[in-house]
Amino acid sequence: MNSILIDEFGKNFGKKAQYLVLSPGRVNLIGEHIDYHQGKVLPCAISLKNTFAGSIGKDYIVDGYNLNSGRKYSVNIQDSCLFEKGATEIYIYGVCRAIIDSGYFIKGFSFVIGGDLPMGSGLSSSASFSCGLIELISQMYHLNIQKRDIARIARLAENKYAGVPCGIMDQMAIVFGKEKRLVRIDCRSLDVDYCSMPGCISIVVVNTMIKRQLAKSEYEKRQIECAELLKAIENKYSSVKVLRDVNYDMLNSVKGEVSNLAFKRGKYVLDEMKRVDMVFDSMNKGDIESIGRLFYEGHRGLKDEYEVSCEELDLIVEETYKFNGAIASRMTGAGFGGCAISLVKKGYEKEYADFIMKKYYDRFGKKCEVYDVGEPQEGLSSMKL
Ligand code: GLA
How far is the C-alpha of 374 from the C-alpha of 139, rounded, in Å?
30
Q: Name the band, by pLDDT with cuts 50, 70 and 90, for residue 152.
A: very high
| Arithmetic mean of pLDDT, 301-321 | 98
Q: How many CB atoms lie within 10 A of CB 238?
A: 8
The pLDDT tens digits of the residues spanning 187-210 come to 999 999 999 999 999 999 999 999
How far is the C-alpha of 90 from the C-alpha of 130, rounded, in Å?
11
Distance from the CA of 214 to the center of ligand 1, in angstroms?
Answer: 14
| Catalytic hit among 35, 63, 149, 170 | 170
The pLDDT tens digits of the residues spanning 84-100 come to 777 899 999 999 999 99
The pLDDT tens digits of the residues spanning 210-223 come to 976 666 789 999 99
How far is the C-alpha of 15 from the C-alpha of 130, rounded, in Å?
24
CA nearest 278: which of 268, 269, 290?
Answer: 290
Given a cut of 90, is residue 81 above it in pLDDT? no
Given a cut of 80, is residue 83 above it in pLDDT? no
Q: According to the model, what pLDDT value does residue 78 have?
A: 92
Given a cut of 70, is residue 377 above it in pLDDT? yes
User: Within 13 A of 265's CA, how many CA atoms are on the CB side?
Assistant: 23
Given a cut of 80, is residue 182 above it in pLDDT? yes
Q: Which amino acid is at 317?
A: V
- Say if CB 55 and CB 9 are below 8 A apart: yes
Please provide the average confidence, as pLDDT, over all residues in the chain.
Answer: 96
Q: According to the model, what pLDDT value does residue 214 have?
A: 61
Q: Between vectors from CA 114 to CA 110 and to CA 118, what angle results, nearest 5°? A: 135
Is 271 annotated as catalytic? Answer: no
Ligand 1 pocket by Cβ (under 6 Å): 28, 32-33, 35-36, 166-167, 169-170, 333-334
Q: How many CB atoms lie within 10 A of CB 83?
A: 16
Q: According to the model, what pLDDT value does residue 216 have?
A: 77
Classify 349 as helix, strand or coil. helix
Q: Which of 166, 214, 265, 308 to mutate to test the pocket of ligand 1 (most atoms within 8 A of CB)?
A: 166
Q: According to the model, what pLDDT value does residue 120 have?
A: 80
| Arithmetic mean of pLDDT, 309-325 | 97
Q: According to the model, what pLDDT value does residue 350 have?
A: 98
- Say if CB 227 and CB 313 are below 8 A apart: no
